[in-house]
Structure 1
Amino acid sequence: MQQVIELERVAKRYDGSGRPALGPLTLDVAKGESLAVTGPSGSGKSTLLNLVAGLDKPTEGAVTVAGRRIDRLSEHALAKFRREHIGMAFQFFNLLDDLTVTDNIQLPARLTGASRRDAAARAGQLMEMLGIQKHARAYPGRLSGGERQRVAVARALVNRPALLLADEPTGALDTASGQDVRDLLLELNRAGQTIVLVTHDLALARECATRTIHLVDGHVALDTPVQAVR
């Protein structure tokens, strides 16, 4: 089975000598999996996400994403790789309030060199797929939390990434909006999108993941496939 993420004996130390914030850790995520990463604060969840996203580099070990050894890339090459292969959705959306919904979604495509026409067409396709086309000309500040998270997910998907990373995607949402986002992520994974979710939301992990790992002190304490029919 094709692996989208391969971590081989990866460790991250921030003080250069003490106990690692993460690892050593070996972990594979296959194409089409939806992996939920859970654990208490300080367990290494954010460190793991940052290493997979290429936002940080390991102290030791190898990080391979979409067939590319990203821990060896320069900062410039990493930025280009992220734009082309990794989509990211965050707890607080990180949308640009002075851009419309359409322009927010198009932005990563434009940064990779897509024409305005092609970027607009892809944005329109995603807005229709995610049920937000009526907000195309609206500004993010006028949307609900659930709607803003859908815009953020659309932006993350605009370049058809091999991997979608979601960092506490329901953390800033009320119950109804959180369920809306859970339904969206489940639908995306059923369509074949590989997803890694970092979350404290056990309902999100239970409903959206095909597999859950639980981190404790930087190590995988549990690695559990989801048995229920999704």
Structure 2
Amino acid sequence: MDDAALIELHQVTKTYQDGPSAVDEVSFSVRRGEAVAILGPSGSGKSTLLNLVAGLDRPTRGTVTVDGLRVDGLSEAGAAKYRRARIGMVFQFFNLLDDLTVLDNVLLPAQLAGLPRALSRTRAHQLLETLGIAEHAHAYPGRLSGGERQRAAVARALINRPALLLADEPTGALDTASGREVRDLLTQLNQDGQTVLLVTHDLALAQSCATRTVRIVDGRIASDTAAVVPEGAAR
């Protein structure tokens, strides 16, 4: 594995029962500090690819390595530990627990990882402040806007300082203004050094925050294109 690569997939195939391969002989890598958007139509295999990187699914063939760890060979317990320690995940519909406050939602992964409570609370408050929702720390998710809930979900994903942030259609359930806020947030996180891998139908999201765009068609990579940044523009 390339020392600079955080993610490396080698000839990965995923087949369900007797159907066609959801992912078909895919090989690609993501370097530390990149923001890579995976684009493709419904059924193209992009979400399957994200699940393989997350250790939520195993390839039929091939290898998946993340942060030096062979994810494809992990047991269920090992995969759960990997997700707690090395990745953060953001979902389309937030997946916040409605009976917990925003602060307690953010703290949950740290508690599951057994991190010191005082240190975790300090980190959580810092994240909520940075993400602009500190005033909602003791509110319940149902009282927040969609954009605010997604910011809370991002804070939860970052609480354990993951090497990799995975995002599955992070703007898919948001209105235009909230979607723009989340795009700006992901862009800023990447500019601050966070490695991001996201799947999306949102071309504006890919164009605004990705340093590379990978297009998937019928389980295969159709194109892999670096972003063109205008001269003098910040990324």
> TM-score scaled to structure 2, two decimals?
0.96
Q: How does 1:36-51 map to 2 (within 5 A)?
A: 36-51=37-52
* Offset of residue 128 of structure 1: 1.0
Root-mean-square deviation (CA), in Å? 0.8
Structure 1: 4+ residue segments shifted above 2 A: none
Q: Amino acid of the residue matched to residue 40 of structure 1?
A: P
The equivalent of 2:133 in structure 1 is 132
The equivalent of 2:161 in structure 1 is 160
Report the 3-state secondary structure (helix = DSSP H, G, I; strand = E; otherwise coil) of the residue aligned with 1:21. Answer: strand
* Offset of residue 88 of structure 1: 0.2
* Offset of residue 19 of structure 1: 2.7
Report the 3-state secondary structure (helix = DSSP H, G, I; strand = E; otherwise coil) of the residue aligned with 2:124. Answer: helix
The equivalent of 2:105 in structure 1 is 104
The equivalent of 1:9 in structure 2 is 11
The equivalent of 1:172 in structure 2 is 173
Contiguous gaps of at least 5 residues in structure 2: none
Alpha-carbon distance in structure 1 between the residues aligned to 2:119 and 2:101: 17
The equivalent of 2:222 in structure 1 is 221
* Offset of residue 67 of structure 1: 0.7
| Post-superposition CA distance 1:120-168 (Å, at most 9, x none) | 0110110111111010110000000000000000000000001000000
> TM-score scaled to structure 1, two decimals?
0.98
Equivalent pairs, count: 229
Q: Amino acid of the residue matched to residue 11 of structure 2?
A: R
Contiguous gaps of at least 5 residues in structure 1: none
Alpha-carbon distance in structure 1 between the residues aligned to 2:150 and 2:47: 19
Alpha-carbon distance in structure 2 between the residues aligned to 1:156 and 1:95: 11
Report the 3-state secondary structure (helix = DSSP H, G, I; strand = E; otherwise coil) of the residue aligned with 1:227. Answer: coil
Report the 3-state secondary structure (helix = DSSP H, G, I; strand = E; otherwise coil) of the residue aligned with 1:187. Answer: helix
